[in-house]
Structure 1
Amino acid sequence: MNHGKQLRLFLPDGSASGPRYYELVNWTGQAVLMPVSRIKDLVSGEWPEFERPGVYLVRGESQEGHHCAYIGESENVAKRVQGHPATLGFDVTELLLFSSKDDNLTKSHVLWLESALIELATYAKRIKLTNSTAPITKALSKAELATMLEFLENLKLVAQTAGFHFLERAKVRSTGAVPVAQFYIQKQKQDLKAQAMQSDEGFVILAGSRASGKVTETLGKGYALQREELIEQGVMKLEPDGNYVFTSDALFTSPSAAAAIVSGYPSSGPAMWKDERGVSLGELLERSKGSEV
């Protein structure tokens, strides 16, 4: 059972575009989200909280427009990240650093956390991870392992709150007072059938769905890049008939984005996605709107 948690956010500049400091009540961890333009602030003496052992997440975009990330650790995370914007091979946009308030994180702990985070991001397949290999870590004692597992869960929660969603696979909410509806796109001539569900994060195409192997010139550059990323990550796998199959659930920002990826051309999600009765998502939304009125 999940319990509510209190998250504290501090804006040192009083601006949402500047550094953001996060902490959870009753958690020894702490985090700071730093725009790459302010990376030197971390070693200016303003952030001594992060001139200590910890782990960090870096994200940005490649020259081709693909979303990229890197995960690392150090005994001084503030100093360690200083050279990354020039060496990671992609344009860094922001960094998220984690450390402990009580100085109890050791080198073994942060190595374990780094390895666990790389494993989570690799399994989630939501972003291109540029780490070449996962670090080899020594085993922790049972007590230390229990502590680090709890630390990792809180770290993931803060990371997701800060917009770093690539540590977990897309979740489809299947419990609650109102069942989550399933929607379909079916094109018999192209042998396509995709299944999707709405979630708290967006619109999720389910594993086993089939997408067109052909992409038209009218498909937007953003959607084309997204398809390339999904193929590169192994989320979309080429089949012998030339179409693609989703090997795992995939999250999209909207029904239209999901429909465009499936069909290979610009598509209206509310019109294309239909429930098992053949009623479109758009019509269901209109009915819901009328009921509220």
Structure 2
Amino acid sequence: MTRALGRSLELYYIDGRPDGMLTAELFNWTGHVLMAPRTQIATALARPEASYAGIYLLLGELDGAPLAYIGEGEDISARIRSHDVKKDWWSSAVLVTATANKLNKAHVRYLEARLIAEAKSIGRTPLENGTAPNPPSLSEADVAKMEAFLENLFVVLPAVRVDMFIQRARSSDHKASAPKESKQPRQPLPGPETASGDVRFRLELPRKNFSADAVLNERGEFVVLAGSNARPAQNLGSYTGLYNELVRAGVIAPDTAGQLRFASSYVFNSPSAAASVASGTSANGAVGWKHVETGMTYKDWEAQRLGNGDGFAESPFGN
């Protein structure tokens, strides 16, 4: 397996404030990203790169839900001034250009079409854009250049707090086992744990006939598997937004019997986030998830892996 190489990213906080304007550049990439809060948009649009050809994202909320708009222009500043300043819901803007104004009209139309299609397919953030435009016809060489440009852009955007293009839903070779009655013995997931390097865990609520399956894969991702049970949100606290996002994106949806399940596998930032969203209530995933082969809690399994055996059992759910 080819080892993934690291990349060097430079963030520059223009006015020295972490919540102000910033630029982002990736080593050996011609792209340039400028992010600005709406309160500083006049200053941002006065910068030289704002008059270049490029694409832009407007980010904000409408009726309490996230919303975004993706546009393009041969002069981004003119486009935002003449049209998008009339939109009252957005709170920050991201301008994407290339050094020396190397992008042309066909390039930015291609990038806009691809970004809209990608955002719609991921479904993390709804778009104000209507139908996705078709990419313009480019030469084979230009398509390759624009796809390479996008690959780098998808690395940079999360660093400037734009996560709408992070694909956490996964198609997986593994499926969660069917839910079982609490009196049945623990059953391992299909396939040997060592086959792919995945480490398998299960979350159960026996009295509610609930079970969810997850793997910690070789990339360090904690993935709840497609087919796992899910429950309606009751007391999720800070995870309410994430839960609603997964419902909106169709990651959590009713099956043919009307039971909530994970329609696709999904990567969570932590075992607790995964346990809380799956169970519908705030939960401590470190003790809620159990290692399928040994029955150890995630916390104890992790302590053993780190050579520290001081893990202890506690209740996974706060209520």
- 121-130 or 260-269: which moved more? 121-130
1:209 pairs, out of 209, 228, 232, with 228
Identity over aligned pairs, percent: 32
CA shift in 2, pair 1:124/1:201, >3 Å: farther
Q: CA deviation at 1:160?
A: 2.3
How far apart in 1 are the matches of 2:112 and 2:249? 20
Q: CA deviation at 1:130?
A: 3.0
Q: CA deviation at 1:207?
A: 2.3
Q: CA deviation at 1:290?
A: 5.2
Aligned pairs for 1:269-280 (under 5 A) are 269-276=285-292, 277-280=294-297
One-letter code aligned to 1:206: L
One-letter code aligned to 1:4: G
Unaligned runs of 5+ in 2: 171-195, 311-319
CA contact (8 A) 1:128 1:233 kept: no
Q: CA deviation at 1:148?
A: 0.8
CA contact (8 A) 1:169 1:249 kept: no
One-letter code aligned to 1:260: S
Determine whether 1:51 maps to 2:51.
yes
How far apart in 2 are the matches of 1:150 and 1:273? 39
What does residue 187 of structure 2 align with? none
CA shift in 2, pair 1:201/1:38, >3 Å: farther
What does residue 118 of structure 1 align with? 116
CA shift in 2, pair 1:78/1:184, >3 Å: farther
Q: CA deviation at 1:85?
A: 6.2
Report the secondary structure of 1:129's partner residue: coil
One-letter code aligned to 1:209: S
One-letter code aligned to 1:252: F
Runs of 4+ more than 6 Å apart: 199-202
Question: Which structure: larger Rg?
Answer: 2
What does residue 175 of structure 1 align with? none
1:221-241 deviation per Cα after TM superposition (whole angstroms, max 9, x unaligned): x43343232222111111243
Determine whether 1:146 maps to 2:164.
no
Q: How many residues align?
A: 281
CA shift in 2, pair 1:227/1:107, >3 Å: same
- 245-254 or 105-114: which moved more? 245-254
Q: TM-score, normalised by structure 1?
A: 0.83
What does residue 193 of structure 1 align with? 211
1:282 pairs, out of 289, 294, 299, with 299
What does residue 135 of structure 2 align with? 137
CA contact (8 A) 2:168 2:268 kept: no
One-letter code aligned to 1:115: A
Unaligned runs of 5+ in 1: 173-177
1:181 pairs, out of 181, 199, 212, with 199
Determine whether 1:81 maps to 2:80.
yes
What does residue 25 of structure 1 align with? 27
CA contact (8 A) 1:58 1:96 kept: yes
What does residue 267 of structure 1 align with? 283
How far apart in 2 are the matches of 1:238 and 1:68? 25
What does residue 166 of structure 1 align with? 164
Alpha carbon RMSD of aligned pairs, Å?
A: 2.8
1:45-81 deviation per Cα after TM superposition (whole angstroms, max 9, x unaligned): 3x111211111223223332x3332222112223333
